[in-house]
Amino acid sequence: VVPTTRLFNKLSSLTTLTDSDRALLLALRGTVIALKAGEDVGVQGDRPQDATLVLKGVLGRYKLLSNGRRQFLSFDIPGDMPDLQSLYLETLDSSLGALTDSEVMLIPLQEIHSILGQSSEVNRVFARVMLVEAAIFREWMVNLGRRTAFERIGHLLCEMMTRMRAVGLTNGDSCELHITQSQIADALGLSLVHINRTLRELREAGLIGWSRGILTVLNWHELCETSGFEGSYLRQVTQTARDR
């Protein structure tokens, strides 16, 4: 499989791409590297020459505060390019690291600029990707600011499942998600104890199952309803969150 396939899957979930656009995207080349959980790709202040395409695993953007406090700003899955902003903003304003053992492809920014110059549709879809990402940040803000612990976790899991589905990483109502409770705590602004307690509530309510890194949504409709998840902000045109 060509490494950029997931990228192509993701982009074509957002718009209709022609065969020549597809060829341009699949021809993107870079250096594939493996990352151990906890390893960084870039840290705040870096001036990267490459954009990172996630191939396997989960990466996350984060900021560190005093006292070792950490806030995850995003969870990035295969097909995502978490530092795509480096195309136009020279320095990283947050760090990017692997949450699980992962694989990424580092694509020279020049390569991407070059295909952007060759197709206005590819240009448009990359802009769309960055805008959808901003929409995801807006949802995360609502999550952090106003949703209850139950809603926060439920919403996050609905979002992850919907994004995984768009890049072909779901199996029915299940997907692989190896992130730890402590990483979720650092993304949702909750303590480990609270995450533990709330995941138990979600399980006991028959909404999810999650063991050995396999997340299963047992009642999609109810999970969306109780967590206030409405997936239109993800702008998936070819695969929408199912209404069952």
Question: Residue numbers of the site for other proteins (CB under 8 A)?
Answer: 67, 69, 185, 191-193, 196-197, 200
Conformational region of residue 78, where left means phi above 0, alpha means psi within -120 to 50, and beta covers everything else: beta
Structure tokens, 243? 């209404």
Please say which residue, 142 or 193, places its beta carbon nearer to other proteins.
193
Minimum distance from residue 186 beta carbon to other proteins (Å) = 9
Structure tokens, 133? 């990402």
Task: Choose among 132, 131, 113: nearest CA to 123.
Answer: 113
Minimum distance from residue 30 beta carbon to other proteins (Å) = 37
Please say which residue, 199 or 215, places its beta carbon nearer to other proteins.
199
Q: DSSP secondary structure string, 43-79?
A: -TT---SEEEEEEES-EEEEEE-GGG-EEEEEEE-TT
Please say which residue, 195 or 234, places its beta carbon nearer to other proteins.
195
Minimum distance from residue 64 beta carbon to other proteins (Å) = 14
Minimum distance from residue 93 beta carbon to other proteins (Å) = 23
Please say which residue, 63 or 200, places its beta carbon nearer to other proteins.
200
Please say which residue, 98 or 190, places its beta carbon nearer to other proteins.
190
Contacts of 114 (CB under 8 A, 6+ apart): none
In the chain, beta strands by DSSP E: 31-35, 40-42, 50-56, 59-64, 70-76, 95-98, 102-108, 170-171, 174-176, 208-211, 214-217
Minimum distance from residue 200 beta carbon to other proteins (Å) = 6
